[in-house]
Structure formats: C-alpha cells, structure tokens
Structure 1
Amino acid sequence: MARTQTGDPRSTGRRRPRRRDPEGRMPLKEHLRELRKRLVLAAAGIVLGAVAGIILYDQIFQVLTAPVLGYDDVDRTTEIAFNTVGQPLDLMIRISLFVGIVISAPMWLYQIWAFIMPGLKKREKRYALSFLAISVPLFLGGIWLAYVVLPRAIRFFFTLNPEGTSNIIAPDVYFTFVIHLFLAFGVAMIIPVVLVGVNMMGLVSGKRVLQSWRGTLMLIALMSALAAPGGDAVSMFFIAGPLVVLFAVAIVLCLLNDRRRARRDQEREQANEALIDDPGEV
C-alpha cells in the first residue's frame, strides 16, 4: 500500500509561501531578490519611456536646441553641427533615454520607495506613500526649473565669446550639458524626500542632518550660482529658495521622527522593566 505524503510541501510540488516579519523585515537574501526585482521594473519603465522619446525625438530636439539656434546676435553665428556619421543615432539614443527617465519618474520613484518600505513599520509606511506622491511632482518641477534656467545660462555663456567669433557646438557636448543640468535639478528636488526616508530607516539621525546645514547651504548657493551664472540675484533667489525650504522641512521632519522614535523606545523599555519587576501581571 503506497503512502501519500501530506506533511511535506515539497511532495506536492507547491512552493511554500514567503514569510515576512509583521514589521516588514526580511533576511539579506530576500533583500537582494527584492532589489533585483525593483531594478528590473525600474529599467523596464525607463525603456518604455525611451520608446516614447524616440517617437517624439524631433520635437524634443527642436525644443532643447531653441536657446542656441534662436540666439539673436548679428555679429555672431550659432549652430549645432554633427561631425561624425554615427553621431545622430548616438544622440537619438541619449535623448530618448533621458526622456525615458523623465516620463517613467513615477515608476522608478515608486520602485525606490517600494524597496525602502519593507524596512519601515506599519505607521511609517503611510508616510512613505505620502513621500512618493510628493517626489514625483518635485522631480518634474526640478526638470521644469532647469528648462526655465537653460536659456539664461546659454545667453550668459555666449556673451563671453570674443567679438567676431562664432559658436559651432557639437551636439554631444551640448546635450551632455543640458541633460546634466536637468537631472541635477530634478535629483536635487527629491534629495530632501529621500533624506526623510533614510531617517525613517534609522540610517541617519535628524541631529546629524541638522549639523550639516552649513555644507548644505553652501552646495545650494553654488548650484544656484551655476544655474544662474549671469549674476542675477533675483534668479538665484528663485532657484535657491525652493531648495532651502525643502531641506528645512526635511530637517524638521527628521527631528520629529527622531523624537517620536525615542519616545516609543522609552515606552518599550518601561514596559519591559515593568514586566521584569512584576512578571505575574502578564
């Protein structure tokens, strides 16, 4: 008489469901699998966005080159010139990937937070979802701010040309400058949000963030000066102002979270001490 094995899940060919800690903690191997999964999904979103970038390539090229091709100066010629056979294809790929990053921002930002959230407690996960909703418009707002700054930067740099000279720019050089400028502004806008998320994970304290305020202000001032190189104080203020406000809000949220965490730890310690002093109450 044959015996059927019912206790061992391997005999049925079914995989045992993945068990997670109630607070979302996972072993290192699970974290690595989760990271690989999130990276693949983020890359897939960027690739799909890049397809849209290829479709809209001509329109995007015209918009981004308008500050150069539309520069009005009777004594100076400005143009973008391809100097190799394969350069148009290389440029199309680079611009399409950049567009893919921008379009898929909700996708890869969600993957970042989805990877962070399993390490958070249930109450903190609600805050993380709110931060995700804030990160997307902040990143896109940074891209828009860079687009507004771009013509000013181009105009300033062109005014440094000696009289009688021309600007014949290689497209790879120009679009490297443009893409770096746009991504720098977009990432700078979401760094405060990521900072709060890292604080919730317990990797950095609000006090530590507060102690670095001088360096943060210096970096913001430097970035604003580079983005508004004409020396226009009003433009620098409009660039630096939102960044300063965002970092200030991030510092306040980190300090409040540290205080809440310390109070929760103190209550837990008091409960443990009461349990040790009088174990019969449980």
Structure 2
Amino acid sequence: MTLLEHLRELRTRLFRASVAIVIGIVIGYLLHTKILEILQDPYCQIAAKNAMNANNGVLPPGYRCEFVALKVTDPLLLTLKISLWTGLIVASPFWMYQLWAFVAPGLHRNERRWAYVFAGLAAPLFAGGAVLAFIVVSKGLEFLISFINPNTSIMLEAMAYIDFVTGMMLVFGVAFEFPLGIMLANIAGIATGKRLLGWWRIAVFIFFVFAAIATPTADPFGMSFLAACMSLLYFGAVIFALLNDKRRGRNRPSYANIDDDEISSLDYDVEPVEAATPIDGYDPIAAPTPVAAPTAIERPQPLDRGYDDIT
C-alpha cells in the first residue's frame, strides 16, 4: 500500500471508532444516573452511617445524600463526563479492534501472537486496578471523615468528588499495567529474568513509594494493599521472564549442549594459495644470500710493555 492508501485506511478506521464511541456515549447518557449513584455510593454509605450514629441508630426523616454544585454548568459537565467515560469503556472492544486492524498487517506472526497475549491481559489488569481503587477510595473516605468534628457538617462538591474517584481508578488501572511492560522488555531481550529478580528490592521500594503518593489517605492499610498487589504482579512477571529465558536458552553458554568428548567442527574447505610476489626487489621464496665470514680479532698488547690502562 502507498502512503495515501494507508492514510485513507487510517481515516476509515478512525471514523468507525468514532461512531462506536458516540454510540457508547449515548448509552452512557442513558445510564448516567445509575452510574453516578454507584460512584457516590461509598460516600453516601459513610454519611448515612454517621447520620444514624447521631440520631440513635435511626436515619432522620427525609434524609438524603446530597452533593454540592458550585457552578451552574456543573450538572451538565458532570453528565457529559460520565457519559464520555462510559462511552470509552463500552466501545473499547470495537475501537481497540480498529486500532489493531490498522497495525496488525505490519507485524510478523510471532509479534501478533504476543500482541494477542498482551491485549488479553491488559483489560483484566486495568479492571482489577480500577476495582482496587474503588475499594481504597471507600476505605480512605471513611478514614478521612472520621476526623471531622461532631459539630461540623460536610458536603462534598460533585465535580471534585467524581474527578477524584475516576482519577484514582485511572491511576490504579495504569499502575497494574506495569507487569506487561516488564514482560515486553524480557521478550525483546532488554532485561533477563535473573536481572529482574536481582532488582526485586528496588522494585518493592518503588511500589511502596508510588502507593504512598497515589493513595488518598495517610493510613498504612490502603498503601500496603496497593503495594502488595503490585509486588505480586511484579514477581509474576519475573517468573514469566525466567521461564521465557529458559525456553529460549538465554542463560546457557554456547557450549552447553556439547559433550566433553565431542570434537569441534572443522572446516575442510581448501582455499588455493597464490604465489608470492617480490616486494621492492625482495623475493620471500628465493634462496637466502650467504652471510660474510667473521673477521679475526687482533691480539691484545701485553701490559708489561710500559703502558697501563690509564697512561
């Protein structure tokens, strides 16, 4: 295909992906109320529990879990944001397939096989990270709200709360894709399993630092849970790297499969030797010239003739 044909195909793929995303956004708009309730449920449960504790274990009459909208356009923007996120998730199989269909013809058969493996693992890992983020947010909100004075009421701003929850789910989902990068580096030959295993202390330390920054609370439970999950995924990727190295024989020397009494292979091809040509009048094949005979050494004068070695 020529460059223009590639560009036309890319335009067609992007148009189809855009249509699928628009359809997903329409579905998200129809379900945005239910999705908003699911996202607000962690805070609403904590607020209802606090209201029951303040009213002798009974919810006050007419109690409602309410959020605050600081701007007139916030309800519309919140609906559009939830619809967009839902549309991207719902239409992800289709637009990812369009992306794959555009890239796949340029890959070899072995590369396509590994791409299928990565695509099959990426979605579950991202979903697992998003679910973990939702759990951490639920526990983190309960921890943070526990410090509020009983005489103080709290009302969360809707846009900031949804941005916080979706941002945490996105960060955790991307963090769970880290083992795929390790597997890709091993398959490409950049890092061996033995080397990755030797870096486990540094990796675990980095995971705990990242978890301490990413988790919204100061309690050690959410941070430790996230770091432990990332560490388990890292060791799983290291095990895969060790098995892949063993399968490809990367850690074995070139003579590993040779017996002790096995002779080395010899090259029996005989190449003709050309005759030597004289260089600057010197012929290396000619007979050497005789060396001149040594001359006789004069007899030394005796010391008793009146001269010594000084005078």
Instruction: Quickly name the TM-score band, shorter chain normalised.
Output: 0.5 to 0.7
Match status 1:152 vs 2:134: no
Aligned residue for 1:73? 50
Match status 1:231 vs 2:231: no
Q: Distance in 2 between matches of 1:191 and 1:47?
A: 30
Q: Distance in 1 between matches of 2:82 and 2:89?
A: 11
Q: Distance in 1 between matches of 2:140 and 2:7?
A: 44
Describe the shift of the 1:219–1:126 C-alpha distance in structure 2 as closer, same or farther (beyond 3 A): same
Q: Distance in 2 between matches of 1:52 and 1:158?
A: 34
1:235-259, Cα deviation, whole Å (9 max, x unpaired): 5554333322222222343455567
Describe the shift of the 1:93–1:135 C-alpha distance in structure 2 as closer, same or farther (beyond 3 A): same
Aligned residue for 1:87? 74
Structure 1: unaligned runs, 5 residues or longer = 1-16, 19-28, 267-276
Describe the shift of the 1:251–1:82 C-alpha distance in structure 2 as closer, same or farther (beyond 3 A): same
Shift of 1:262: 5.3
**Are 1:39 and 1:111, in contact at CA under 8 Å, matched by a contact in 2?**
yes
Aligned residue for 2:110? 123
Q: Secondary structure at the match of 1:167?
A: coil
Q: Distance in 1 between matches of 2:105 and 2:186?
A: 14
Give the letter for the 2:121 counterpart.
I
Match of 1:64 among 25, 31, 39: 39
Match status 1:50 vs 2:25: yes
Match of 1:141 among 113, 121, 128: 128
Match status 1:96 vs 2:83: yes
Q: Which structure is higher in RCO with an 8 Å CA cutoff and minimum separation 6?
A: 1
Aligned residue for 1:221? 208
Match status 1:164 vs 2:151: yes
Q: Distance in 1 between matches of 2:39 and 2:126?
A: 18
| Higher Cα radius of gyration | 2
Aligned residue for 1:251? 238
Aligned residue for 2:283? none
Q: Distance in 2 between matches of 1:213 and 1:119?
A: 35
- Which has more helix, going by share of residues? 1
Identity of aligned residues (%): 30
Q: Secondary structure at the match of 2:126?
A: helix
Describe the shift of the 1:243–1:44 C-alpha distance in structure 2 as closer, same or farther (beyond 3 A): farther
Aligned residue for 1:189? 176
1:7-26, Cα deviation, whole Å (9 max, x unpaired): xxxxxxxxxx56xxxxxxxx
Structure 2: unaligned runs, 5 residues or longer = 56-63, 255-266, 271-311
Q: Distance in 1 between matches of 2:207 and 2:13?
A: 30
Shift of 1:169: 1.8
Q: Distance in 2 between matches of 1:209 and 1:35?
A: 40
1:52-102, Cα deviation, whole Å (9 max, x unpaired): 211110001111112223322246997411121111111111112222333
TM-score, scaled relative to structure 1: 0.66
TM-score, scaled relative to structure 2: 0.61
Match status 1:205 vs 2:191: yes
Give the letter for the 1:148 counterpart.
I
Shift of 1:191: 2.5
Q: Secondary structure at the match of 1:73?
A: helix
Q: Distance in 2 between matches of 1:35 and 1:221?
A: 44
More moved, 149-158 vs 68-77: 68-77
Aligned residue for 1:270? none
Describe the shift of the 1:175–1:254 C-alpha distance in structure 2 as closer, same or farther (beyond 3 A): same
Match status 1:180 vs 2:157: no
Give the letter for the 1:205 counterpart.
A
Pairwise CA RMSD: 4.4
Give the letter for the 2:29 counterpart.
I
Shift of 1:105: 4.0
Q: Distance in 1 between matches of 2:200 and 2:102?
A: 28
